Amino acid sequence: MSKVYFYYSAMNAGKSTVLLQSSYNYRERGMHTLLFVPAIDTRAGVGRIQSRIGLGAEAMALQPTENLFDHVKAAHAAQPVACVLIDEAQFLTRAQVEQLTDVSDRLGIPVLCYGLRTDFQGQLFTGSAALLALADNLIELKTICHCGRKATMNLRVGPDGRAVKEGAQVEIGGNERYVAMCRRHYKDALAQA
């Protein structure tokens, strides 16, 4: 039985690296994988998954209105798909997550989603909320705060390095814009902003 997996964490836990390694493992055994990344994430270029340690791969850039089930079904008809992998899954819509459950349930293809659980204000992203509700397996990937504790929060920082309390939920960025922290140090940083 195929399942939908949600690998979640704070920033800088190696989600993209794990995704790329998983795809490599399938491909090394002669199996075909499909990689998707929301088109909104253009840090490495449109339709590209790139890890901080230098691994990268081409992926299908996914718009919010696109139907994942239809994409996978068509690709699977052309060449059997062994696994579907989604980077930055927090940016999926609820409908797209439901479509991924159909990929697993109706097509029998495992789906591995990787993304953030919460935004810089500690609020769930739409895609993450849907995955937390609908995925068969929830797996936390861990990273650490500067104090050594497990980081669970994503602090957004401005150009001056100070915490940002308000703004749009989605602002694409990497280490220059976000810092993974434990809840205590996240609260301390917000109190000093």
Please name the residue ranges forming H helices in 56-145: 68-78, 94-107, 126-134
Pick from 85, 71, 64, 78: which is nearest to 127 by CA?
64
Amino acid found at 193: A
Catalytic residue numbers, as ranges: 88
Q: Does domain 4-142 have CATH number 3.40.50.880?
A: no
What are the DSSP calls for 8-47, one per residue? EESTTS-HHHHHHHHHHHHHHTT-EEEEEEETT--TT-TT
Which residue's entry shows tokens 């991924």?
100
| Whether 138 contacts 8, CB under 8 Å | yes
pTM across the whole model: 0.92
> In terms of C-beta density within 10 A (0-12 exposed, 13-18 middle, 19 or more buried), how is residue 16 classed?
buried
CA trace torsion 121, 44, 19, 173 (10° rounding): -10
Pick from 34, 30, 171: which is nearest to 113 by CA?
34
- Rounded Cα distance between 25 and 28, Å, is 5
Q: What is the pLDDT along the chain (193 residues), one digit of tens a residue?
A: 799 999 999 988 989 999 999 999 999 999 999 999 999 887 777 888 878 888 888 999 999 999 999 999 999 999 999 999 999 999 999 999 999 999 999 999 999 999 999 999 999 999 999 999 999 999 999 999 999 999 999 998 888 888 888 887 877 766 678 899 999 999 999 998 7
- Rounded Cα distance between 97 and 176, Å, is 29
Strand-pair partners of 116: 9
Report pLDDT digits (tens) over 71-122: 999 999 999 999 999 999 999 999 999 999 999 999 999 999 999 999 999 9
> In terms of C-beta density within 10 A (0-12 exposed, 13-18 middle, 19 or more buried), how is residue 128 classed?
buried
Which residue's entry shows tokens 């810092």?
179
| Whether 110 contacts 72, CB under 8 Å | no
